A and B are shown apart, each in its own frame.
Chain A
Amino acid sequence: MPAECEFPTGAASSLSELKSSIDSEVVPYCLELAFRTGELRSFLTTITQYGGLNAGPGIELRLETSEGDVQSFPVWQPNVESLSTLQGLRRSLLEQLESWLPESRLRWGENVHLVDPDNSQQ
């Protein structure tokens, strides 16, 4: 990971621009940490609509592993402070992957550690 990481802060004005930034700065970083070559069949980020508390638009990642596991992960929602920085977005997604992978056929029962509690870069 580069020592200095900058997220575009200019005139971005839409969810699609935010999604583009997530596609380039968040998703590849997390997936490269979580999966080895050949373990990921496909992945796609989409703009979606959430209900419940904090209802509204969001951005989620859907992936399929080589074992056929399919799972969606919320990547961003509005009004969530922890998701307002690149660091927070990466950490949130890594935490979800860390929690889900041991339940997948790909890594069933393994101890998966993706988030280093002492590493503030995530």
Chain B
Amino acid sequence: MRMKSVSGIFVAAIALVALANGPAQAASSESGSVVTINHAGFDGISNSALTVTFDKPMDSAKLAQVKSLLTGQNGAPSAAIHGLQPFTGPQGAFLYCDNAYSFSDSDGNYTFQHACGGTTGPWGYKISSGLCAEIVSNVTESGMSWTRNGANQARQAPHVEGCTYQFHGTYSPDDDYDFITYSDTLAFEIDVDGDTGTATLNITGSFTSAGCANGHACGM
């Protein structure tokens, strides 16, 4: 079948992007009603930023208490990696093919796997039980946006689910040694010991979805 490009339409539409993107907003990490908790994962593979805007201002002691609860300092697991230790490559960490990776922090758990020689990379994200216990609404996932070797890829579908849902999708195509960056946002309402508010959890990261050249990159 012969297909004609729609570039004329897209060029015009792309021009609208510049108009839509305004100047960057200054980030406020914490104020009287806002708590922001950042987790930086190993080699930038899996990061998360939880921002909660409470309905009412709090004093500093109360904010510290709430932050402590949300970061799981009362027994929740700290950051952890399950799977073969990633290899630090020239462009982000190498995640070996034929290995199921799992990266956890107090917000949740990001998983990724890629079959050696395969063309896809299934991913998953599950909110931690500790954070889920504070959520009092459905979770609205914006849909995974991602790049492959620097090129924007089609955004994945959004979901609205309960906080115990295993959010998931597939990076496709994802060939051996593709460099992947990703970003997704989960939005929900929260109630921390009677203090209610709205929250967004932004998960981001980057890595090389490694193949198995000479048995080295796959961890042999």
Which residues of A does B touch, CB under 8 Å? 3-15, 17-18, 21, 49-58, 71-74, 76-87, 92, 95-96, 99-100, 120-121
Question: Within 8 Å CB of A12, what residues of B?
Answer: 6, 8-9, 12
Residues of chain B touching chain A, judged by Cβ–Cβ distance below 8 Å, are: 1-10, 12-14, 16-17, 20-21, 142-143, 145-147, 151-158, 169-170, 172, 181-185
Query: Chain A: which residue is nearest B154 at the CB level?
Result: A92
Contacts of A5 in B (CB 8 A): 1-3
Indicate whether A57 sits within 8 Å of B16 (C-beta atoms), given known contacts A50-B155, A79-B152, A121-B1.
yes
A14 contact from B4, B12, B157, B169, Cβ within 8 A: B12
Check if B152 sits within 8 Å of A54, measured CB to CB: yes
Cβ B155 vs Cβ A54 within 8 A: yes
A99 touches B151 (CB 8 A): no
The reply to whether A82 and B20 contact each other, CB–CB distance below 8 Å, is no
Q: Which residue of B lies closest to A96 (CB)?
A: B157
**Cα–Cα, bound, A3→B5 (Å):** 16
8 A-B pairs, CB-CB below 8 angstroms? A14-B12, A21-B6, A52-B145, A53-B152, A54-B152, A57-B13, A96-B156, A99-B170
Number of A-B pairs, beta carbon distance below 8 Å: 133
Q: Is the interface of B mostly helix, strand, loop or mixed?
A: mixed
Which residues of B are found within 8 Å of A50, using beta-carbon distances?
Answer: 142-143, 145, 155
**A52 near B183: Cβ-Cβ < 8 Å:** yes
**Cα distance A99–B167 in the bound complex, in angstroms:** 13
Q: A7-B6, A12-B8 are in contact. Are A53 and B1 (CB under 8 A)?
A: no
Given A79-B152, A86-B6, residue A14 in contact with residue B1 (CB < 8 A): no
Contact A80 B6 (CB under 8 A): no
Q: How far is the CA of A42 from the CA of B183 in the complex (A)?
A: 30
Task: Write out the residue numbers on chain B whose beta carbons fall within 8 Å of the beta carbon of A86.
Answer: 3-4, 6
A71–B1 touching, CB < 8 Å? no
User: What is the distance, in angstroms, from A42's C-beta to the closest C-beta of chain B?
Assistant: 17
A103 and B183 alpha carbons, distance in the complex (Å): 23
CA A121 – CA B1 in complex, angstroms? Answer: 6
Chain B minimum-CB-distance residue to A89:
B6
> Considering the chains assembled together, what is the distance between the CA atoms of A77 and B145 in angstroms?
10
Shortest Cβ-Cβ A-B pairs, 8 listed:
A56-B17, A52-B145, A53-B145, A52-B183, A12-B9, A74-B155, A78-B14, A54-B152
Contact B20 A57 (CB under 8 A): yes
Q: Decide if A72 touches B142 in the complex (CB within 8 Å).
A: no
A84 in contact with B6 given A49-B20, A51-B185, A99-B157 (CB within 8 Å) = yes
A5 shortest CB reach to chain B, Å: 6
Whether A7 pairs with B4 at a CB distance below 8 angstroms is: yes
Are B1 and A84 within 8 A (Cβ)? no
- Determine the chain B residues whose CB is within 8 A of the CB of A74 once the complex forms: 143, 154-158
State whether A17 touches B14 (Cβ < 8 A): no
In the bound complex, what is the Cα–Cα distance between A70 and B14 (angstroms)?
Answer: 29
Which residues of the partner chain A approach B153 to less than 8 Å between Cβ atoms? 80, 82
Q: Measured between alpha carbons, how far is A122 from B70 in the docked complex, in Å?
A: 46
Closest Cβ of chain A to B157, distance in Å, is 5
